[in-house]
Copies of this chain bind each other. A is one copy, B any other.
C-alpha cells in the first residue's frame, strides 16, 4: 500500500538516478555520439573517446543499467544505442544553457 508521497519519492529517485547516469563528461560525449538513433560498439566508442576499454564498458553499463541505453549483441560486437530518443533533448538543453 503506497501513498502519494512514496510514489513520488520513488519517481524522484528514478529520475535522479537516470540523470546521475548521464551527468558525467564522458557519458554525455557517448550520448552525443549516439544521437539520431546511431548504434556503436564498445570498441568504437572507446576509440572515439580515447578512454580505456574497461572504463568505456563501465560507463556503458551504468547508462544501460539506469535505462538510458539499450544494447544488442551481434557476433563479437555489442551495439549500444539510445533507449529514448527524447533524451537527446537533455543534451541539447545543456548545450544551450552552457553557451554563455
- Measured CA separation A14–B91 after assembly (Å): 12
Interface of A is mostly: helix
Distance, CA A17 to CA B22, complexed state (A) = 11
* B contact residues around A90 at 8 Å (CB): 19, 89-90, 93-94
Cβ-based interface call for A24 (8 A):
yes
Contact between B18 and A98, CB atoms less than 8 A apart: yes
- A98 adjacent to B20 (CB under 8 Å): no
On whether the beta carbons of B93 and A14 are closer than 8 Å, the reply is no
Stretch in A5-13, A55-63, A69-77 touching the partner: A5-13
In the bound complex, CA of A29 to CA of B9 (Å):
9
In the complex where A20-B20, A23-B23 touch, is A15 in contact with B86 (Cβ < 8 A)? no
B25 with A16: CB separation less than 8 A? yes
Contact B98 A93 (CB under 8 A): no
Contact of A94 among B9, B15, B27 (CB under 8 A): B15
